[in-house]
Amino acid sequence: MDTAHSLEDRRAHLRATLHERGMRMTPQRQLVLDALLVLEHATPEQVCAHVQRATPTVNITTIYRTLELLEGLALVRHTHLGHGAPTYSVHEHQHVHLVCHRCGHVVESPKAVMDQLCGTLRATHGFELDASHLALSGTCQTCSQETP
């Protein structure tokens, strides 16, 4: 399946999900979702810059409100990859982020790497960890091999 086809399929799925929840796909919602589909992970400011290339009149307040609404509908999720602004992605994008606190490099790992920890937390504490979109801080392989 080519990228354009899968992108259109994802757009249609998101449109249908909004419709099922009694919402309509406004131009602003479409622009924000399209930006996230293209960028995959983006801060509100990055989404705004992407959207403004096509529609310069959309402001950052609209982006924040739209992201908040879409997150409330579970269409997008946010993760804090560091000390800056949250990073948003389309909800179906589920993985663990491994963030190097030295160089800032981010590696995506399947959420299955957290299965054992999730089981341990459930058995020991009755706690259900949401590991579907998580960021873990540490040192990447390259930085670990460098002398400080």
Q: Annotated binding residues for Zn(2+), as ranges?
A: 100, 103, 140, 143
Distance CA 42, CA 39 (A): 6
Distance CA 127, CA 145 (A): 36
Do 109 and 95 contact (CB within 8 A), yes or no? yes
- Residue set of the binding site: 100, 103, 140, 143
Distance CA 74, CA 132 (A): 12
SS3 state of residue 140 = coil
Pairing of strands 106-110, 95-100: antiparallel
H and E: helices and strands count for the chain: 6, 5
